[in-house]
Structure 1
Amino acid sequence: MTKKLVFLTLFIFISATKLKAQGCVAIRHFSSCVGNSLENNLLNKGDIQLGINYRFFKSFRHFRGLEEEPDRVTNNTEVVNFSHSTDFFLTYGISKRVYSSITLPTVFNSRSSLYEHGRNERNTTFSRGIGDIRFGIGAWLLNFEENINGNISIGLGLKLPTGNYNASDIFYNVGPNAEPQTRPVDQSIQPGDGGIGFTLDFQSYKKMANGLFGYASGFYLLNPRETNGIRTFRETLNPILENESIMAVPDQYSIRAGFSYTISPSISSSLGSRFDCVPVKDLIGGNNGFRRPGNVLSIDPGLSLNQNNFSFNLNIPFAVRRERPQSITDIQTEQLTGSPRHGDAAFADYVINFGITYRMNNSKVKIAPELLEEFK
């Protein structure tokens, strides 16, 4: 059975189900559309890979630019997001080098804050349900038998707006007479983003020595839709936030690179870095509406266990650099008022990713034994 050489999230995702890569409230759950790991995409013709990926984080550390605001935690004014997301996916080997995948994400999120509930009382809002379903197809560019020491794949994916992007809950002390009101929950915990998205991704590996491989992977989610029409109610906090009254549908991307080492015939480890980002501007479409741009650089250790047709993997990326750059709406407000404006975002210290996959082999078709041996 092939070894797990790289763990690709991501991710990607992004959204919404979608990434939430390193846990910034700006970076929601997303992963690649064409398989969440290298092993999932090393298939014979007719092979099927079934899998579940679970992801958890708690975001609570506030950053403005690169500077943390520790007083938010000290003063109990921080926003706390708990995110639980699960991807159910199926990957199918169309041929030895071409594969396809479908991913069904589900999420359960909570968000605790003061400022969304009149600033004097902390309350919690929740969201749950199916996220944005993804379809994808990918191909390995090099012939495996002739290139057993390395290869690269590229993939294309489609993200459908199947997740609820108008999930709502009760907000307290916000009505005209401080009564509760039902409103859409914050963008960071919406199950969907409301846009049709397109992904580009790649995966690569290179044998460095016996049992040691280098890897790199990444994806970019294109979200052409500018805004999704859902009200944020941020203008009720301050009239100058009128330009943030409607939610944006932002792009998102993730890049990973590192090394994988085979410890034993059934256990392998990896150590690398990853960079996850919601950019300030999209590649295609406009940039109006409310978004929290953010990026995280993480150290990404992982461990994988392979037994028969099952594979278990765990990786826990730890944030080493977090940034919440100035958004387009921040810049617009600053130009309009003449006063500095730079919004903040809350980030996690780490993310827990755990996955289980099961491979159903097509007994009529086999990858050359000498090729499989290279991955043991």
Structure 2
Amino acid sequence: MRQVACRFTLTAVPFPDGNLPAAVAILDHLDTFQEEKKTKIGCFKKTEVINYTSVFNLSLTRILNNRWSVMVDLPISNNVRSSLYEHGLVNGTYVKRERNSTSSFGIGDIRFAAYRWMLDPTKYAKGNLQLGLGIKLPTGDYNYKDYFYNVGPNGTKELRPVDQSIQLGDGGTGFTFEVNTFYNFIENFGVYGNFYYLINPREQNGTRTYRETLASRLANEATMSVPDQYMFRAGFTYSVNQIKGLSVAAGVRLEGIPVNDLVGGSGDFRRPGYIWSVEPSLNYEYKKVIVFASVPFAVVRNRTQSVTDKENSIKTGTHVQGDAAFADYIINIGISTRF
């Protein structure tokens, strides 16, 4: 699964001017899962895929007034993918059983968004609702290539597009919808909620997956899909009175890729599924600087049946469902400053 490209701090109060927040996300320890029974497939066979992903998100927000703000977000990512099957499996048979790695580095898809507090912040300081609309442009390389070993003529290496999970972009012009809300029951205790959805109308981006070389039945997965993405967060926040500027939070987090997009086709290759996580986090504010961190730990992981899986199930007369690699945890670290 691709990482959902959005970041949230715990504070829902707009800055009076503008800010320059930066966030780093590190995904590590990916295990391969299938269906809700949460069976670790690859680990038992030592064939698991291991992705190491570091993402630096650079965002610039401009507060227009106490209700409206605009934002631009640019992700820069470094990815390394270690696997066995991608470096030797040809037409269902291993030419050579050898684990190797592919990598990618560069900017991702840039996003512009506008936000509005639906209630007047001067009158509703205890709670509010913010709506956001944005556009994501295909600035990230969605056909990034690296060498795959033992798959070329006579077992040589061959330059191919890297796996969809470490491509820098998805190749689609997308539209984002966001809802951010908070409510403080008392001065130092409240609740928060965030919802994010990315609509990608484009069905596929033309980048070849080479999955048809793994097995002939995967011919309908030869091209990468451009899927929608979503995220939901909700939880409690508590300001620590003994330490000025420090607040902690605990909540749940849901993120994933749907089987069917809201707009456009949903064919070609994608790994739909979702992750439920428990997310502890903290914020520390000092003068014009806010430092924030969160570490979502996955508790439920489900790789759902894709459109191409269903097509192959009908053709073969047996249930077909691919697997996917999910992160055990994500480390989000960020800093925001006002100018």
2:220 to 236, 243, 249: 243
Deviations 1:167-188 (A, max 9, x none): 0000001013111100000000
SS of 2:284 mapped into structure 1: strand
Distance 1:92 1:193 in 2: 27
Deviations 1:152-203 (A, max 9, x none): 0000011000000000000001013111100000000000000000000010
Distance 1:251 1:71 in 2: 26
1:115 corresponding residue in structure 2: 85
Task: Read off the aligned partner of 1:225 and give its amino acid letter.
Answer: R
Distance 2:9 2:173 in 1: 24
Measured after TM superposition, the shift of residue 59 of structure 1 is 4.3
1:185 to 129, 137, 162: 162
Q: TM-score, normalised by structure 2?
A: 0.95
The 10-residue stretch of structure 1 (188-197 or 261-270) with the greater mean CA deviation from structure 2: 261-270
Q: 1:211 to 1:40 in 2, by over 3 A?
A: closer
Q: Which residues in structure 2 correspond to 1:290-305 (within 5 Å)?
A: 290-305=269-284
2:9 corresponding residue in structure 1: 37
Deviations 1:311-368 (A, max 9, x none): 00110011111100111100000101112211000111111000000012xxxxxxxx
SS of 1:177 mapped into structure 2: helix
Distance 1:78 1:309 in 2: 44
Measured after TM superposition, the shift of residue 38 of structure 1 is 5.4
Task: Read off the aligned partner of 1:76 and give its amino acid letter.
Answer: K
2:327 to 328, 345, 348: 348
Asked if 1:82 is matched to 2:72, the reply is: no
1:106 to 54, 70, 76: 76
Measured after TM superposition, the shift of residue 37 of structure 1 is 2.7
Q: Which runs of 5+ in 2 are unaligned?
A: 90-96
Distance 2:132 2:39 in 1: 39
Task: Read off the aligned partner of 2:9 and give its amino acid letter.
Answer: S
2:246 corresponding residue in structure 1: 267
1:282 to 248, 252, 261: 261
Kindly, what percent of the aligned residue pairs are identical?
A: 43
Measured after TM superposition, the shift of residue 101 of structure 1 is 0.4
Q: Which residues in structure 2 correspond to 1:136-285 (within 5 Å)?
A: 136-264=113-241, 265-285=244-264
Distance 1:180 1:244 in 2: 22
Distance 2:207 2:79 in 1: 18
Distance 1:40 1:358 in 2: 15
The answer to whether the Cα contact below 8 Å between 1:28 and 1:189 also exists between their aligned partners in 2 is no
Measured after TM superposition, the shift of residue 68 of structure 1 is 3.2
2:64 corresponding residue in structure 1: 94
Q: Which has the higher strand share?
A: 2
Task: Read off the aligned partner of 1:52 and give its amino acid letter.
Answer: A
The answer to whether the Cα contact below 8 Å between 2:12 and 2:182 also exists between their aligned partners in 1 is no
Q: What is the root-mean-square deviation in Å for CA atoms of aligned residues?
A: 1.2
Tell me: higher relative CO, structure 1 or 2? Use CA pairs within 8 A at least 6 residues apart. 1
SS of 1:67 mapped into structure 2: coil
**Deviation above 6 Å: which 4+ runs of structure 1?**
none
Measured after TM superposition, the shift of residue 30 of structure 1 is 0.5
1:27 corresponding residue in structure 2: 2
Deviations 1:198-255 (A, max 9, x none): 0000100111123001111111000000000000000000010000000000000001
Distance 1:274 1:226 in 2: 27
Measured after TM superposition, the shift of residue 48 of structure 1 is 1.1
The 10-residue stretch of structure 1 (162-171 or 173-182) with the greater mean CA deviation from structure 2: 173-182
Q: 1:176 to 1:51 in 2, by over 3 A?
A: same
The answer to whether the Cα contact below 8 Å between 1:129 and 1:191 also exists between their aligned partners in 2 is yes
